[in-house]
Structure 1
Amino acid sequence: MTTLTIAKADWAHHSGLLSELRRRVFVDEQGVPEVLELDEFDATASHWMARIQDTVVATARMLDSGVIGRMAVLKPYRGKGIGSALLTAMIKEAKTRNYPLIQLGAQEHAIAFYKRAGFRVKGPRFMDAGIAHQHMHMSLNSALPRGFDFDMALRANPAQAILDLCKNARWELRIFSHSLEPPLFANAEFIRSIYDFAHRHQDSVVKLMICDELPLRETHHPLVELSRQHRQILKLRTLSIDYTINADEYFTVSDEDHLLVYPHQSEIDQILRSDDEIVAREYRLKFDHLWRHTKEPRSLKPFY
């Protein structure tokens, strides 16, 4: 894809162009009544458009109330990160305006996309123009934890983020998870990466600390098998239940300077990254403290 440009659009000058683009997506593709597609808010809303060369391929708008909507990407250009780029521009604008909150109504198929960007589901689903939607919002007041970065690309593909972290590790990996979450730790490329890392040199160490063994009994997990074959290098342990009760986040630490954190096994798309050595070292020390309260996974004996 050639150069993508995101810019604000003046409705007075670009209304014809943006209206036609929205008509193609919402009216022609989705069957939204044309009378509902344009409304009285267009004249006062802030609009953005995405261009590839001289072709306008996407648009979106934000009302003064912080409501984002009318995001439309022409079909041939979907799946190329254009929607994410538009959303990033609007979030940046909202922060500049000191909006405490931004909101939107997401079509059902787009809920995961907005979740990756940091939006949270709020309230019941509703129908709009005959299409199921979900209210979503993002608080802009709550700052990220010290030393962490927000990255939409990271949240769009947390498995790739974990893989990259492991590939760049030099001598130690510490992985604390609920049950070696399969979307992150069971794909073939990750397993190959762990195998290669473990055999990179004689001092390589991978520590795998889990909270719950049961899910690993119910399905064959390749990382459990790899640990069984290479116990001296890949050490799998279960955290004492007295400590799992207070586990409110899971994380992977590479050496002493790189870190990925997610809040819950079902919220891996809320993953955050830190390349701050001080922060990463704090999590390494936290891991080592918890590791002292682990034991070999008893219920996995038949598999381990």
Structure 2
Amino acid sequence: MSVVTVPGPAFTVRTVDYAAAQPGLHAVREVVFVQEQGVPAELERDELDPQSHHVIAEDAEGRPIGTGRLTPERRIGRMAVLAEWRSRGVGDALLLALLDKARELGWHDVALHAQVSAIGFYARHGFLPQGERFVEAGIEHQTMRRLLDAANPVETHDAAIAALLGVIGTARRELWIYSRDLDPGMFDNAEVMAALRRFGTHRGVAHILLQDAIAPQSGRAPLIGLSQRLPSAFVFRVIEEPVDRAYAAAFVANDQGGWYFRTLGHRPEGETRIDQPARARQLQGVFESVWERARPCSEYRALGI
């Protein structure tokens, strides 16, 4: 059992036996899925429940506030948190407990069907979308998958956005972004911009290396405007040395072991992982050696700065 401290009352997350914990599990799921989301009651329970590994979150008085399960199909599901406990770390704790259980079982990967509104949440935990969206129980969903012991392949634009959200969302104080021209379609994506804004307003610092400073400026890249409003949070330099300009790759790395690497910097395809500090430090080292030789990007300074 793990005790999680959050602003306000503490809560616990623990693995439970389904037969014994049914009342608490279904009390939460009934409220969230049936009452709030309109899922038919007969679909909320299924034959996989008795076969699955379940976790439950409880408040300080032992009242159930959140649930999740891991099915024999290696799929995470029935993630539910009562409304008054959302945005307080309960969902994160439930998901981390399920991932720990999957590792304990020796599983190589796990998948889930994410409600579209929750894609960003799962992306921050290293999950990438696969395939087309679909409707399940009247709600639009997206299949997402995460390898637990290896880098996750990034094969589509949607997966690239999720990879960026994962690395940005798990950064604590520092980000290193090596990009040719701020990658239109990626660093101007609304969700990515929102993640960068949250990072910058919470005292994070993003160091950004560009090979081409003019193209983003001509295209009015929104990150430039954000950097002008938060100049201490987003620092640009421009690569000029021929040996550095010949570098074909692009990447993002953070100070918590997260990274997303693309062998060809003009393409979204690559690999990502949010929990490999050694690789993140290696990319940081590559970045810092080039940063020392690059020039400050005076083109992006706002008037008056």
Identity %: 27
Query: Conserved in 2, the CA contact under 8 Å of 1:158 and 1:271?
Result: no
Q: Is residue 77 of structure 1 aligned with residue 85 of structure 2?
A: yes
2:210 corresponds to 1:210 = yes
Q: Which residue of 1 aligns with 2:38?
A: 31
Cα gap change, 1:191/1:125 in structure 2, threshold over 3 Å: closer, same or farther?
Answer: closer
In the alignment, the residues of structure 2 paired with residue 207 and residue 37 of structure 1 have an alpha-carbon distance, to the nearest angstrom, of: 46
Unpaired segments of 5 or more residues in structure 2?
A: 1-7, 153-163
If the length of structure 1 is used for normalisation, what is the TM-score?
Answer: 0.68
Instruction: Please give the root-mean-square deviation of Cα atoms over the aligned residues, in Å.
Output: 4.4
Report matched runs for 1:37-186 at 5 Å: 37-53=44-60, 54-142=62-150, 158=168, 161=171, 164-165=173-174, 176-179=178-181, 183=193
Q: Which residue of 2 aligns with 1:288?
A: 289
Question: Aligned pairs, how many?
Answer: 263
Give the conservation status (yes or no) of the 8 Å contact 1:106–1:134: yes
Cα deviation for residue 19 of structure 1 reads 1.3
Q: TM-score scaled to structure 2, two decimals?
A: 0.68
Distance 1:299 1:80, change over 3 A: closer
Partners of 1:123 and 1:135 within 8 A in 2 = yes
Residues 87-124 of structure 1: CA deviation (Å, up to 9, x unaligned): 00010110111111211111111111111111111111
Q: In the TM superposition, what whole-angstrom CA distance separates every residue of 1:123-174 from its partner, at most 9, and x where no partner exists? A: 1111111111111111123169xxxxxxxxx967837836x238xxxxxxx7
Mapped contact 2:58–2:64 kept (Cα < 8 A): yes
Q: Note closer, same or farther for the CA distance 1:127–1:79 as it changes in structure 2 (3 Å cut).
A: same
Unaligned runs of 5+ in 1: 145-153, 167-173, 198-205, 228-233
1:11-30 counterparts in 2 under 5 A? Answer: 11-30=18-37
Q: Which deviates more from structure 2 when the two are superposed, residues 240-249 or residues 60-69?
A: 240-249
How far apart, CA to CA, are the structure 1 residues paired with 2:54 and 2:169?
Answer: 33
Aligned to 1:250: 252
Bigger Rg over Cα: 1
Q: Which amino acid aligns with 2:209?
A: M
Structure 1 Cα separation of the partners of residues 109 and 96 of structure 2: 15
> Aligned partners of 1:247, 1:261: CA distance in 2, in Å?
13
The residue type paired with residue 250 of structure 2 is D
Structure 2: distance between partners of 1:110 and 1:123: 16
Cα distance, 1:291–1:58 mapped onto 2, change above 3 Å: same
How far, CA to CA, are the matches of 1:191 and 1:59 in structure 2? 32
Whichever residue aligns with residue 261 of structure 2, its letter is P
Measure the CA separation in 1 of the matches of 2:39 and 2:236: 56
